[in-house]
């Protein structure tokens, strides 16, 4: 709860002192876990048997699991920085994602936005993440890439959709071939305050 209060306080302070927009919406997050071990069961938490197509002398067995979770997000979009004739801009953000099962995180994407037609922007860029209450054996820092689109209905209201692909292996001391990567999809609205 202390981390959540700190995040909300920071967001409100940022809104008061900068020209920005606020955004909120729902997210669907999922992690893709890939486990590799001599028995194949050591990390997957279930018994693993070679398939008929695998030889009995196979050195390792791999398992791939996907776990889905839903939640919401709130964030602050800082002022766009114009790069080329109002068509290409950079948009830094700070977002809080509330995700079930101790995966609440702060994300700081820096997106390049390109206006395709009036009101419609495509966006892509790097995203640094930090898990606030990372479970044992999971790293707190995450790096990913965002891609998405947004449409400005008015000067103040924008609808946006985005996909974040996690690139960092979040497993601490991960055995060779094992990984956990966090991805999410966000859909929501933004309101420009200034």
pLDDT of the residue at 149: 97
Of 25, 23, 12, 19, nearest in space to 190 by CA:
23
pLDDT of the residue at 151: 96
Of 180, 104, 182, 92, nearest in space to 143 by CA:
182
pLDDT of the residue at 181: 86
pLDDT of the residue at 58: 36
Distances from the Cα of 51 to the Cαs of 31, 36, 56, 193, in angstroms? Answer: 25, 15, 9, 58
Structural domains in the chain? 2-192 (2.40.160.20)
Q: Could you list the pLDDT tens digit for every one of the 194 residues in the chain?
A: 566 667 666 665 655 455 577 888 888 876 767 665 443 333 333 333 334 443 333 333 446 677 888 888 998 888 788 887 778 999 999 999 988 777 789 999 999 999 999 999 999 999 999 998 888 888 999 999 999 999 999 988 999 999 999 999 888 887 777 888 888 899 999 998 86
Give the integer Cα–Cα distance in Å for 113 and 79: 12
pLDDT of the residue at 86: 76
pLDDT of the residue at 24: 84
CA Rg value for the chain: 20
pLDDT of the residue at 117: 93
Structure tokens of 55?
A: 């030889």
Q: Is the dihedral of CA 174, 35, 64, 97 positive or negative?
A: negative
pLDDT of the residue at 59: 36
């Amino acid at each position: 709860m202390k981390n959540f209060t700190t995040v909300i306080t920071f967001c409100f302070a940022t809104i008061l002192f900068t020209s920005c927009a606020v955004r909120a919406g729902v997210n669907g997050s999922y992690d893709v876990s890939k486990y590799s071990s001599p028995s194949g069961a050591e990390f997957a938490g279930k018994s693993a048997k070679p398939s008929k197509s695998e030889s009995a002398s196979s050195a390792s067995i791999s398992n791939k699991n996907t776990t889905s979770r839903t939640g919401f997000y709130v964030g602050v979009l800082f002022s766009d920085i114009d790069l080329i004739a109002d068509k290409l801009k950079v948009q830094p953000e700070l977002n809080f994602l509330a995700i079930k099962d101790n995966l609440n995180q702060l994300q700081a994407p820096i997106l390049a936005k390109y206006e395709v037609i009036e009101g419609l922007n495509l966006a892509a860029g790097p995203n640094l993440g930090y898990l606030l209450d990372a479970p044992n054996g999971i790293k707190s820092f995450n790096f990913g890439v965002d891609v998405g689109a947004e449409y400005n209905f008015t000067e103040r209201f924008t609808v946006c959709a985005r996909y974040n692909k996690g690139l960092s292996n979040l497993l601490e001391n991960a055995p060779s071939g094992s990984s956990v990567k966090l991805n999410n999809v966000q859909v929501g609205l933004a309101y420009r305050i200034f």
